[in-house]
Amino acid sequence: MTDSNHPALHPDRLFPAEPATRAIARRLYAEVRTLPIISPHGHTDPRWFAVNEPFRDPASLLLSPDHYITRMLYSQGVQLDELGVEPNGERRAPPAPELIWRTFAAHYPLFRGTPTRLWLDWVLAEVFGADCPLTSANADRTYERICAQLATPAFRPRALFERFGIEVLTTTESPLDSLEYHTAIRASGWPGRVISAYRPDPVIDPETPGFVTNLERLGALTGIDPFSWRGYLAAHQARRAFFASSGATSTDHGHPTARTEDLGERDAEALFERVVRSARRGDLSSADAETFRAQMLTEMARMSLEDGLVMQIHPGAWRNHNTPLFGRFGANIGADIPTRTDYVAALRPLLNRFGNESTLTIIVFTLDESSYSRELAPLAGHYPALRLGPAWWFHDSPEGLLRFREQTTETAGFYNTVGFNDDTRAFFSIPARHDVARRIDCTFLAKLVAEHRLPEDEALLVVRDLAYRLPKQAYRL
């Protein structure tokens, strides 16, 4: 088997075509190609590394859980159940995984020009040894080879973690999670570092289904009354401490907007009580819900200042935009749509309270690229507590990553950014995603060098910082 023609393995992929610039990009990339992967924000399953069982079939591993894939096929008329996504409460058998794989292969041309294509090509070529892109013609053969490989020890989760060169892998859990798998991983003696991030949305967002029940469980877990304002805050502090003791270094907040508030103690308490009361009765107002989420971001910042957990805010997704599909399949099937997002007014209460604290780190993300140069780079280029998260979700693609650097660097510089986040549940694609990000940073820096905007010796330092030092430092890893 030769891989010489597989584009996913071309040594110059994603580098500029102009030869002198490409040569610079190669030299920069040589500096970072083999650096360990820091993955400080993602959604892989910690159970994989705790039990270290073989992965199942290629379809349930690579396709069904990946909403980048299912949404694209759905947009062209393929039904979600054909892809192994199981409808709520329906008792029909999903298609056999080899059939799902064939459907996927037949629609592989849809991904031309997308980052999913780059990542999948890389996984199939580099991890599983494919020698050309997937087609209907080679679908069955590819499927069988992957099955055979998954059954071998070299393809178990821990072996791949090591093969991929991962130094830290962060997962995301609710305060109600026991972190049992993280505990098991550490108890096992395996040296892989898999840590959690504290994601309290289910006990902060009063519009979450089951919010009151979640508070009750929070109370049960902590032994603190979660229905008084002070108790509620203390319960957060207790769970944050538990997460930190288990290795976590960060929190993560996925609110609909970036709005923050800085209410006085008494107003905050009154708001909390009103929110709990109305959530119980089922007549919560959306205005109260929004204000409560806003206030809680500021409370979380205060706790971060105290316990040192790095705070991440990523607003701006309209979750489950497609109501009929949500009704049938539930969340996370690709119907989350970005919306216009304000940061300047929204973050001001929090930043005026804590933004001048240089021992606090708040990392903010966006799905609204129009805010890069207008709002986020100026804010991150001023407030000591603020750092700019990388191009994210719909934007962690070659063009998206490049626009991020082009539109933020001149105001915020490199050192108010924090390296790359893969933010993925697709474990196999993690190296490909980091590799794309590293290559695009090399491409951006090579252009600066070629145009005499930055000396090459300094670009060599910057590219290492972006790939390794900045994420470690920003996430306190």
- CB 113, min distance to a copy of itself, A: 4
* 175-194 positions binding a copy of itself, by CB under 8 A: none
Q: Whose CA is closest to 246, among 187, 301, 304?
A: 187
- CB 118, min distance to a copy of itself, A: 7
Candidate list 75, 152, 213, 285; residue touching a copy of itself; CB under 8 A = 75
419 lies in the site for a copy of itself, by CB under 8 A = no
Number of residues that bind a copy of itself (CB under 8 A): 92
118 lies in the site for a copy of itself, by CB under 8 A = yes
Distance CA 19, CA 5 (A): 20
Q: What is 371-421 written as a DSSP string?
A: HIIIIIHHHHTT-TTEEEPPS-GGG-SHHHHHHHHHHHHHHHTTTTB----
379 lies in the site for a copy of itself, by CB under 8 A = yes
Which token pair is 239? 């769970």
374 lies in the site for a copy of itself, by CB under 8 A = yes
Phi-psi region of 364 (alpha: psi -120 to 50; beta: other; left: phi over 0): beta
Q: Taking contact as CB under 8 A, which single stretch among the options 28-36, 42-50, 114-122, 180-188 is the one that binds a copy of itself?
A: 114-122
Q: Greatest CA span in the chain, whole angstroms?
A: 70
Starting at the edge strand found earlier in the chain, the sheet holding 386-388 runs 250-253, 310-313, 362-364, 386-388
DSSP letter (8 states) at residue 45: -
- CB 283, min distance to a copy of itself, A: 23
Candidate list 35, 184, 221, 454; residue touching a copy of itself; CB under 8 A = 454
User: Looking at beta carbons only, is 78 or 150 nearer to a copy of itself?
Assistant: 78
Distance CA 332, CA 70 (A): 10
Distance CA 402, CA 457 (A): 21
The total number of residues shown for the chain amounts to: 477
Q: Taking contact as CB under 8 A, which single stretch among the options 89-97, 231-239, 301-309, 354-362 is the one that binds a copy of itself?
A: 354-362
142 lies in the site for a copy of itself, by CB under 8 A = no
361 lies in the site for a copy of itself, by CB under 8 A = no
> Phi and psi at residue 115, in whole multiples of 5°?
-65, -30
Phi-psi region of 423 (alpha: psi -120 to 50; beta: other; left: phi over 0): left
Candidate list 141, 280, 453, 476; residue touching a copy of itself; CB under 8 A = 453
User: Looking at beta carbons only, is 53 or 318 nearer to a copy of itself?
Assistant: 318
370 lies in the site for a copy of itself, by CB under 8 A = yes
Number of alpha helices (DSSP H) and beta strands (DSSP E) in the chain: 22, 9
280 lies in the site for a copy of itself, by CB under 8 A = no
Q: How far is CA 78 from CA 58, 69, 72, 142, in A?
A: 19, 11, 9, 21
User: Looking at beta carbons only, is 7 or 165 nearer to a copy of itself?
Assistant: 7
348 lies in the site for a copy of itself, by CB under 8 A = yes
345 lies in the site for a copy of itself, by CB under 8 A = yes
User: Looking at beta carbons only, is 200 or 431 nearer to a copy of itself?
Assistant: 431
- The binding track of 297-336 with respect to a copy of itself, each residue x by CB under 8 A or -, is ---------------------x--xxxxx--------xxx
138 lies in the site for a copy of itself, by CB under 8 A = no
- CB 96, min distance to a copy of itself, A: 23
User: Is the distance from CB of 356 to CB of 383 less than 8 angstroms?
Assistant: yes
